Structure 1
Amino acid sequence: MDVLIGVAVGLLGLWLLLILCLFLLRPRGSALSQAVRLLPDVLRLVTRLGRDPGLPRSVRVRLWLLLGYLALPFDLVPDFIPVLGYADDVIVISWVLRSVIRAAGPEVVAAHWPGTPEGLAVVRRLTRT
């Protein structure tokens, strides 16, 4: 019984540490609201990139795993928690897109981008590329 309590406390501690990291890494200012508004374009981008046979398989697998994560009915941080609820999704999307841009190149992402040039600029700012 003590082992189960220890495991539960350890998992809770790890989750709280993750919440703290998300809070510290969350987009500042209007970047979070801009990113949430871009979500439909980003989802189309991820789907288009995931279907591109010219990309390495590892990149496409990351993209499909991202879509799977976003489709799950639960998140690392529930969406009803102010700021952090959507910040975890934005951070996970940013991490995956940053790795995709580094592997495939920014011109491939720009070629698949379905939105406006301003939206692509926000994506580049969020992914720091």
Structure 2
Amino acid sequence: MRNWLIGLAVAVACLVASWALLVLLARRLPPGVVRDLAAFIPDCVTTVRRLRKDPRVPRRARVAIVIAALWLASPIDLIPEFLPVIGPLDDIVVVALALRYAGRQVPREVLLAAWPGEPWLIERLLGPPRPGVAPTA
């Protein structure tokens, strides 16, 4: 039992260290694409938290957002978190897909208001606005 707890503590420490590395990279890198990508997951966490509380977000989009948040919080990943730079890659893909899905369900203005990062990054993720298509409830 003790070895299991030590292993769990090491895994949690590796997870926290990889997140700390991302935050450090996001703050230390010069402005540009690499810095924006390093800040992507923290921005996504903030966006998920804001959208989860917004009453204008439909239930289906809220479920997708919660699943993305659970994926981020889960210690089980396709790519281990302790691998620098590529560790969070599966998290980025899952969150990007969930936000893209939510972007089709949520009014674009709500999603853009919830995004704390560079607006061009979320615009790129969502793609061009679809004229004449109203989000489904």
Query: Superposed, which structure 2 residues align to 1:1-129 within 5 Å?
Result: 34-81=36-83, 83-115=85-117, 119-129=118-128
CA distance in 1, matches of 2:34, 2:93: 10
Q: Deviations over 1:35-90 (max 9, x none)?
A: 22232222111111011122111111111111111111121111233553222111
Q: Structure 2: how far apart are the matches of 1:31 and 1:93?
A: 18
Q: Aligned equivalents of 2:90 and 2:34: distance in 1? A: 10
Is the Cα contact below 8 Å between 2:68 and 2:95 reproduced in 1?
yes
**Aligned-residue offset at 1:125:** 1.8
Name the TM-score, length of structure 1 as normaliser.
Answer: 0.63
Query: 1:123: how far off?
Result: 2.4
Q: TM-score, normalised by structure 2?
A: 0.60
SS of 1:85's partner is: coil
Q: How many residues align?
A: 97
Deviation >4 Å, runs of 4+: 30-33
CA deviation digits over 1:91-114, x for unaligned, max 9?
111100101111113211112223
Change (3 A) 1:32 1:100: farther
Select the structure that is richer in helix: 1
The RMSD of aligned alpha carbons is 2.1
Q: Which structure 1 residue ranges, 5 or more long, are not aligned?
A: 1-29
